[in-house]
Structure 1
Amino acid sequence: MAAALVVPMALLGSCAGSADPTQPGAAAEEGGYGGALGSDAEEAEFAELYAAAMDAGENQVIAYGPPPARALIDAFQERFPGIEITYQQLQTAERIAKLEQEKQTGNYVADVASDGRTPIVAMALDKWCQQMDPIMDIPAEWVGPESRAFFPYVSVFGLVVNTDMIDPEDAPKSWQELVSPEWEGKVVMVSPAGGGAAAFTFAMMMTPEENAEKYAGIREGIKQNVTLVAKDALVLQEVAQGTYPIGALAYYPYFMETVAQGAPIEFVFPFAEGGGNMWTKSGNCLIENAPHPNAGKLWINWLTSVEGQETLAEAGWYPTMPGMAGPGGLPALEEIDKIKTLSDEEAITGYGPYVQEVITFFGG
């Protein structure tokens, strides 16, 4: 799944360096990056990779996939002047078709692939992605098959509450409570009939077996007690306007956009009792025969650096490196009771039949 919907653009980086090692553009010979990226040893590797890219004339990174927030690209290009990040919104089958064409003609364009867990893991297993030794010490759960993919952040979904209508402390604490008669007619959610995150959420509830037992009856309760709308953004709109006190499966970056407009809403992770908080991995990999390999590696590694992780959090995503705070003061990722998922390789085909069953159940 795409991590977010934003307008793709190519942003030019600044050409000015700085004598202050903590400032963008600072070089290793000027004293490293002052801890902005990581340890002294890690920052030396970043500096070496940046120098290699510059020496090779690698002034750009071409990425295929849904583009990230502008702030993320801005921060990278300020840190490493002279390297421009450009995204082309090619996903799944369209992206593979383009890569096949490049392989057949020998005219290689793509450096990086970016997408949700399933398509990136599939690309890694099919050897479209290069093996890479990361600069940062990335936990195994955020490294794809054979170190061919990396997952620097996850998208999270929770409840959004209209604080003029209810106290966030009184919001439902479990899926079972959410679908109880107490909240009938008071909750709005995007319809799983359209696929996407909602359909995927209920597919995850159906497998593995322990999930199926734990969440038995939830989708039936949602269909009976919850108002379903066609688009994710409408959930935030309905709650912000006071039509409903609660929106379920609210996407955090959309919440940030809505609350910035002065809406009386708050984002909460309600499912502390029994787990079930929805989340999805987002990954990157370095394409085989990438024309700008050093610059591509620099971009992927920077996303897991201290600066990259902090910038991700500021943009509304959950960073995955240990010890990083959640976005907007939310709990750290390791503190959230997340819904249990299949392994990366199982997920490629394991969820498909359940997603289709969910879509059909909700009338899609």
Structure 2
Amino acid sequence: MHTFMKPTALLASFMALSVLSACGTTAAPKDQAADGSVKPTAAATTQATAAVKMKTETSEELYEKAKKEGKLVVYSPSARANDAKKTFEAKYPGISVEVFKLKSNELMDKLMREQDAGLNNADVIITKEVSGAVGEEMVKPGRVYTYLPEDIAPKVDEPFRTKDGYANYLEMRTLYYNTEAYSKAPVSNWWDLTTPEWKGKSYLVDPLISPAFMDLFTAMVVNSEDMKKAYKDKFGKDIELTGTPNAGYEFIKQLYANNPVILKGSSDVLDAIGKAGTKSPAVGIAVSGDERKIEDDGLKVAPIYDLKPKTSVPDAGYLYMVKNAPHENAGKLFIRWMMGETDGQGAGVEPFNELGAWVPRSDVKTKNAIPYEQLNMWAYDHKGFYDNATKVRDFVIKLK
């Protein structure tokens, strides 16, 4: 039995602020040295590979078997799964798709409780990571597995081919600025936000209520050597820690000391800095998936795609088959559909290939100004995040 916190408790700790404020610190994880530096991990290099099933079953073969099953059940935090459902049912009559919309942490809890009770309800899940818990508590134990057929696999970009599990889309959190106030990006280094020039002029979502935003801070802690180098690039001298374990923690401390404006959601951040005519001098961290809101609401903001040391960490929507799926063939057929099929042109991928979202396939043309391959991001180190997320959370609590 593992000694890590169960996902339900882990996510409740992000969302229940009354509980959070009473939490104390935790012992340093085994991958963290006494000085706070984080030892490099395998970053899930074996997490998905043991479970990946590469056999190609054509859509026609799967459809013949799936018609006998008649349905499939999907758990997903994204409403876009319903868009894929509509086109799938039109393409494959005789198979109905039931989509249950659940937040990723709720999805994990529901699936694990069902499996532990011997119930096999779900066939496919679409899920975001939950501070590394999906990789550590669902993929590694074999509760779910990656289905990536060999006719599609060569077109899938790493690390979503052999390491992290297949993601049919990914987003990220990065800085946005007002294009009426600035003709070009006013920030090029995360450490810029700790300087007097930016005091009170940065907006962010409260990471204590958003695990995805907390992942950005955790990435800085796990990759503290990168943050250390970026500090020297900015200030021309080595960093001096002020009682913090490493440069990642030091950045978080200095950012909070510079009076950022904390809001509830990404859309709030974009509204605060981007309304036309305001020429807001502030910048804000928002999710790239809100690019549609920018267009719809006529906001005057643009993302910063190149920040030192890295712009962000992927926030990916992973596709997994569920162990002992009762409608296995229909589930595989639906995953192929959402992948875009062999040529990447299938309609099932269209809801996920939008502004602010990237499909990590070399044969799917992005709608964004910059392709996925050029995004300057840290890899998502599932184990590193899993081992450090609670510690980072507790550190942020003490800063509030």
Structure 2 length normalisation: TM-score? 0.68
Supply the AA of the counterpart residue of 1:314: E
Q: 1:198 to 1:97 in 2, by over 3 A?
A: closer
Match of 1:304 in 2: 339
SS in 2 for 1:322: coil
Deviations 1:5-34 (CA, angstroms, capped at 9, x unpaired): xxxxxxxxxxxxxxxxxxxxxxxxxxxxxx
Is residue 370 of structure 2 the alignment partner of residue 338 of structure 1? no
8 A Cα contact 1:113 1:120, kept in partner:
no
- CA gap of 1:314–1:95, structure 2 versus 1, over 3 A, is closer
2:389 to 339, 349, 352: 352
Judge conservation of contact 2:289–2:357 (CA < 8 Å) in 1.
yes
Q: Aligned residues: percent identity?
A: 20
Separation in 2 of the partners of 1:96 and 1:336? 29
Residue in 2 that maps onto 1:324: 364
Distance 1:93 1:179, change over 3 A: closer
Deviations 1:147-171 (A, max 9, x none): 9x5222212122222222222x143
Of 113-122 and 73-82, more deviation after overlay is shown by 73-82
Q: Return the alpha-carbon distance in structure 1 between the equivalents of residues 380 and 251 of structure 2.
A: 17
Q: Does 1:108 align with 2:120?
A: yes
SS at match of 1:173: coil
* Equivalent-residue separation in structure 1 for 2:372 and 2:69 (angstroms): 38
Match for residue 325 of structure 2?
290
Please name the residue that 1:20 is paired with: none
1:203 Cα shift? 1.4
Distance 1:255 1:43, change over 3 A: same
Q: CA deviation at 1:123?
A: 1.1
1:158 touches 1:269 (CA, 8 Å); kept in 2? yes
Match of 2:30 in 1: none
State whether structure 2 residue 237 is matched by structure 1 residue 222: no
Match of 1:18 in 2: none
Query: Pairwise mapping of residues 28-177 of structure 1 onto structure 2 (< 5 A)?
Result: 45-54=58-67, 56-58=68-70, 60-69=71-80, 70-90=82-102, 94-95=106-107, 98-99=110-111, 102-103=114-115, 108-117=120-129, 118-121=132-135, 122-130=137-145, 132-134=147-149, 135-137=151-153, 138-139=156-157, 141-143=159-161, 149-167=165-183, 169-177=184-192
Q: Contact conserved, 1:75 with 1:311, CA < 8 A, in 2?
A: no
Matched, 1:261 2:272: no
Structure 2 equivalent of residue 21 of structure 1:
none
Work out the number of aligned pairs and report it: 315
- 2:167 is paired with a residue of what secondary structure? strand
2:271 and 2:299 in contact (8 A); partners too: no
Q: Does 1:194 align with 2:209?
A: yes
1:71–1:349 CA distance, 2 compared to 1 (3 A): same
Report the Cα distance in structure 1 between the residues aligned to 2:391 and 2:162, rounded to whole angstroms: 23
Structure possessing the higher relative contact order (Cα contacts under 8 Å, 6 or more residues apart): 2
The residue that corresponds to 1:182 in the other structure is: 197
Secondary structure in 2 matching 1:205: helix
Cα distance between partner residues in 1 of 2:112 and 2:312: 37
SS at the partner of 2:253? helix
Per-residue CA distance 1:34-93 (angstroms, 9 max, x = gap): xxxxxxxx9982232223212x142x3212231342444444344434433332234566
Separation in 1, partners of 2:116, 2:314: 37
> Whole-Å Cα distance in 2 between the matches of residues 226 and 339 of structure 1?
24
Cα distance in 1 for partners of 2:146, 2:214 equals 32
- Seen in structure 2, the aligned counterparts of structure 1 residues 340 and 98 have a Cα distance that, compared at 3 Å, is closer
Map of 2:240 onto structure 1: none
Residues 153, 317 of structure 1: 8 Å contact kept: yes
Given the superposition, is the C-alpha separation of residues 347 and 283 from structure 1 closer, same or farther in structure 2, using an over 3 Å criterion?
Answer: farther
3-state SS of the aligned residue for 1:206? helix
- Alpha-carbon displacement from aligned partner over 1:93-120 (angstroms, at most 9, x marks no partner): 6545544564576653211122123343
Q: Unpaired runs of 5+ in structure 1? A: 3-41
Distance in 1, matches of 2:91 and 2:215, equals 37
SS at match of 2:331: helix
TM-score (norm 1): 0.74
Q: Tell me the distance in 2 between the aligned counterparts of 1:73 and 1:200.
A: 30
1:198 partner letter: F
Equivalent residue number for residue 41 of structure 2: none
